[in-house]
A and B are shown apart, each in its own frame.
Chain A
């Protein structure tokens, strides 16, 4: 299996002045993987990506690309291409010249360059604009050209730094699918950086959640969302209710807890100790009214509601704590529960998660 590692980051640290941006970060990325680095602003995502590209070098630790130590290899000698957040299309060159630039530097033949450039522009639906300059394009079009330019030289690894953040919502949605398809078709390893958790969950094979210069958790989207290893991950990815609870009995990956919502057994992070802990219960796991089904049911009171179209967010009070719950608006009428009204709520303990405080 070792042969299949496209990227290995080993104990990489980086400080800017007295500020430690990365604290001994380690992880591997498999070949042909769509790997996402997710984290809040300033957590070191771009810094890590720039290390893979070669623009930044670690203070300590090592970076390996395809089993080869590259820590001291300059960017132009790495078979890695980047889609910059600013796109960085050369303003004095046409789109065609932009896409051909990398191929020329690699010493491709003229005819091959022309064929490949045409093919790539075709692929991102920009052939009609081949002889335009970047200034004459919209944001979404620039984004696609940047993608074509980075993919043209057939890199081993493609790095993408928040490539969708400058696009509007509809375009972003379409580009997610397009990126995902491109990755599947080309089989190139994608390393994608974003602070948008929805984007990460939607597109990735695996996600690394970064926080405060450290890797908080690495896993599939389901693992990250359903089995967060700590409070930071549970909080950053998706919405959740945190409740203070007490662990009465802990096993390998389960714990019996006493909480304001009752005493029950729920999945827990490893090595849970008896004593105070935190319970994470996501809003959509709490069922309301006629949808209320589950092992645990409680009486609750509606405090307020936010109508979101497809579903409604409710703020409730139950067992002396405030909970947020969301309910699908399954039918048009009678879905909204007014404030002050009593309502039954229910949830499955298996859908909650016990975390260390």
Chain B
């Protein structure tokens, strides 16, 4: 890149950058800072305290909601990633070229639909079919809407992978299954991992569908937090928020490390 075209040299670049990051992270910073505030009233700093963290961790409904969320997210991630992997293999590596674009669009379409529509549709379907179990409903719905998110990075990785490797494997006497296990999967693993990560975060983050399907005992974390806010804000929320930010940072770091390892391989 030539020096003249370096964006850093545009007038106002520095200021814009500061404003942008402030706009993005200031609210988060406020949450983190006040989670350590001894005072009950937000905005009045009276001293450092970890009381709100203790309160959050002792809050039984909160911990139950967290458990529900993690359970649903883990199962939905496993299901969505497996389905997405199989779909990507069939669509990208399959021989039937005619329906390739159509199939891809069908898999991705839920990304474009408003979530509220999908949520209502799930609700209606479940009552039509007569599924009663709240947990099962959540898992089924989450698995479905997480699939396109898992699909995107897997497809990208598979599409970028040279066919020669799989042909070389077959040439060296590997059956289709061996080729998948020893060549295809290791080479697309960073894509599969990103897909799973994305699916997990989307599931953890979901509010609309989970709220619609929620019944006693199947309250997810976002749904529970929302109910807390309706009964008035509490500094405990700041502590919960800070813990969630921390968890996200850890996940994002792992994802970056895995993706970095993958790009160096090919």
A interface with B by C-beta (< 8 Å): 53-55, 74-77, 80-82, 84, 86, 88-92, 101-102, 105-106, 135, 149-150, 153
Contact = CB atoms under 8 A, between A and B. Distances in A.
A142 B199 CA distance: 38
What interface size band does chain B fall in?
A: 20 to 34
Contacts of B167: 53, 55, 75, 82, 84, 88
Contacts of A54: 170
Contacts of B173: 76-77, 102, 105-106, 153
Which residue, of B170, B178, B265, has the highest number of chain A Cβ atoms within 10 A? B170
Given A88-B165, A90-B183, A92-B186, A76 B171 contact: yes
Given A91-B187, A92-B186, A76 B174 contact: yes
Nearest to B167: A55
9 smallest CB-CB distances across A and B, nearest first, come from A102-B172, A88-B164, A105-B173, A88-B168, A75-B170, A105-B174, A76-B170, A82-B171, A92-B186
Given A86-B162, A88-B164, A91-B266, A76 B175 contact: yes
Given A53-B171, A84-B164, A101-B169, 18 more contacts: A75-B171, A76-B172, A80-B171, A82-B168, A82-B171, A84-B167, A86-B162, A88-B162, A88-B167, A90-B168, A90-B169, A91-B265, A101-B172, A101-B174, A102-B172, A105-B173, A105-B178, A149-B172
Contact of A92 (B172, B174, B178, B265): B265
Contacts of B186: 92
Which residue, of B162, B171, B265, has the highest number of chain A Cβ atoms within 10 A? B171
A81 B172 contact: yes
Interface in B129-188: 162, 164-165, 167-175, 178, 182-183, 186-187
Interface of B: 162, 164-165, 167-175, 178, 182-183, 186-187, 264-266
A162 to B, nearest CB: 13
A202 to B, nearest CB: 26
A153 B172 CA distance: 8
A107 to B, nearest CB: 9
Contacts of A53: 167, 171
Which residue, of B162, B168, B169, B178, has the highest number of chain A Cβ atoms within 10 A? B168
27 contacts: A55-B167, A74-B170, A75-B167, A76-B170, A76-B171, A76-B173, A76-B174, A77-B173, A81-B172, A84-B168, A86-B162, A88-B167, A90-B165, A90-B168, A90-B169, A90-B183, A91-B187, A91-B265, A101-B169, A101-B172, A101-B174, A102-B172, A102-B173, A105-B175, A135-B264, A149-B172, A150-B171
Which residue, of B167, B172, B175, B266, has the highest number of chain A Cβ atoms within 10 A? B172
Nearest to A99: B172
A76 B169 CA distance: 8
B265 to A, nearest CB: 5
A236 B182 CA distance: 43
Task: Decide if the interface of chain B is mainly helix, strand, loop or mixed.
Answer: helix
Contacts of A150: 171
B21 to A, nearest CB: 36
Contacts of A135: 264-265
Contacts of A82: 167-168, 171
Contacts of A92: 186-187, 265
A91 B263 CA distance: 11
Contacts of B265: 91-92, 135
A90 B167 CA distance: 11
A235 to B, nearest CB: 33
Which residue, of A102, A105, A106, has the highest number of chain B Cβ atoms within 10 A? A105
Nearest to A84: B164
A193 to B, nearest CB: 15
Nearest to B170: A75
A153 B169 CA distance: 13
A150 B169 CA distance: 11
B80 to A, nearest CB: 25
B187 A86 contact: no
Contacts of A55: 167, 170
A52 to B, nearest CB: 11
A7 to B, nearest CB: 16
Which residue, of A53, A86, A91, has the highest number of chain B Cβ atoms within 10 A? A91
Nearest to B187: A92
Given A81-B172, A101-B172, A105-B174, A86 B164 contact: yes
Which residue, of B169, B173, B178, B264, has the highest number of chain A Cβ atoms within 10 A? B173
A82 B173 CA distance: 11
A105 B172 contact: yes
Contacts of A102: 172-173
A74 B175 CA distance: 9
Contacts of B168: 82, 84, 88-90
B170 to A, nearest CB: 4
Contacts of B178: 105
Contacts of A106: 173
Contacts of B165: 88, 90-91
Contacts of A81: 171-172
A81 B266 CA distance: 23
A101 B182 CA distance: 10
Contacts of B172: 76, 81, 101-102, 105, 149, 153
A91 B190 CA distance: 14
A228 B178 CA distance: 47
Contacts of B162: 86, 88
